[in-house]
Amino acid sequence: MPAQTNSPTAPEVGTATLSVRGLTKRYGDRTVLDGLDFDVGAGEVVSVLGANGSGKSTALRCVVGLVRPEGGSITVAGRTVTPGVPLSEVAMVFQRIHLVPRRSVLDNVCAGALGRLPLAQSWATWAFPQDLREEAMACLDRVGLADRAHDRAGRLSGGQQQRVAIARALCQRARVLLADEPVSALDPAAAESVMRLLHSLATEDRIAVAAVLHQPDLARRYSDRVVGLAEGRLEFALPAEELGDHRIDELYAADYRAEGAAL
């Protein structure tokens, strides 16, 4: 586990795998991200908390290249990410799990490598080379689902499908894994298993994990640090064990005040 700090904005230079500085995003005249700073180190799980609309998804979407920010910088392992251009080292999983349900679990995991395959072996053909299939099988084994490799993805439970989506990110060889409410649609036992997996990917595989959660209890138990967002700004950044209930109450109260002010 990396040394913990009260400020995710000021780790030792060069230690953060993902580093976000001054991230700004506007939709029309609405500022959704307002100079956001945060870091995620290799081997670390950072939970992102905040009320609906505080900018959590937009922040992660900027990092993965799905949304183009107006300002700020994003670096991954020291390399600057061009706004709006995805980087293979960064993968994202979502609450709504995007697998191809009629394809095998193994094919879905192989799809994580599409970005580095020649066009001739494209997604349309599903003719993944043997060495990739072996790599995908190892990724499935890592998430505990090697025995389901040849089932149709749509037959798996929600928790298993989320683990397949994580295996697909591993097959992409991601070093930064962003998870946007990865357990919001899961029952408590499945949520625990996904959080355990994310935690072990950080501690054992040294992946940098950032997870948007709505469950402070999961954030405390499975993350190293917690960042709180309100109105697109960093409200706090704390070691997980210092996340007191009052911080949670203040975080959501701040957003409700803002909502009231906007009415």
Binding site for Mg ion (CB under 5 A): 56-57
With binding defined as CB under 6 A, does residue 228 bind ligand ADP? no
Q: Interface mask (CB under 6 A) for ligand ADP, residues 58-77, using x and -?
A: x-------------------
Q: Count the alpha carbons within 13 Å of 234 in the hemisphere toward its beta carbon.
A: 20
In DSSP terms, 177 is beta-bridged to 91, 209
Whichever of 27 and 130 has its CB closer to ligand ADP, that residue is: 27
CB of 179 to Mg ion, least distance (A): 11
SS3 content of the chain, % helix, strand, coil (to 5): 40, 25, 35
Helices and strands in the chain, H and E counts: 7, 10
Residue 6 interacting entry, from ligand ADP, Mg ion, none, C-beta within 5 to 8 Å by type? none
CB of 36 to Mg ion, least distance (A): 14
With binding defined as CB under 6 A, does residue 47 bind ligand ADP? no
> Which of 32, 93, 132, 210 is in the footprint of ligand ADP by CB under 6 A?
32
CB atoms within 10 A of CB 251: 21
In the region spanning residues 99 to 138, those forming contacts with ligand ADP, defined by CB under 6 A, are: none
Residue with tokens 């499908």: 161
Q: If you ran DSSP here, which 8-state letter would residue 178 be given?
A: E
Q: Rounded to an integer, what is the distance from CA 203 to the centroid of its chain?
A: 15
Residue 17 interacting entry, from Mg ion, ligand ADP, none, C-beta within 5 to 8 Å by type? none
Q: Binding-site residue total for ligand ADP (CB under 6 A)?
A: 10
With binding defined as CB under 6 A, does residue 50 bind ligand ADP? yes
> Which of 47, 54, 160, 161 is in the footprint of ligand ADP by CB under 6 A?
54
Which amino acid is residue 214, in one-letter code? Answer: H
Give the span between the Cα atoms of 19 and 8, in whole angstroms: 9
Whichever of 56 and 225 has its CB closer to Mg ion, that residue is: 56
With binding defined as CB under 6 A, does residue 27 bind ligand ADP? yes
Residue with tokens 């300002």: 71
Give the span between the Cα atoms of 7 and 3, in whole angstroms: 11
Residue 148's alpha-carbon distances to 81, 191, 224, in angstroms, are 35, 19, 31
With binding defined as CB under 6 A, does residue 225 bind ligand ADP? no
> Which of 52, 80, 122, 125 is in the footprint of ligand ADP by CB under 6 A?
52
Site for ligand ADP, rule CB under 6 A: 27, 32, 50, 52-58
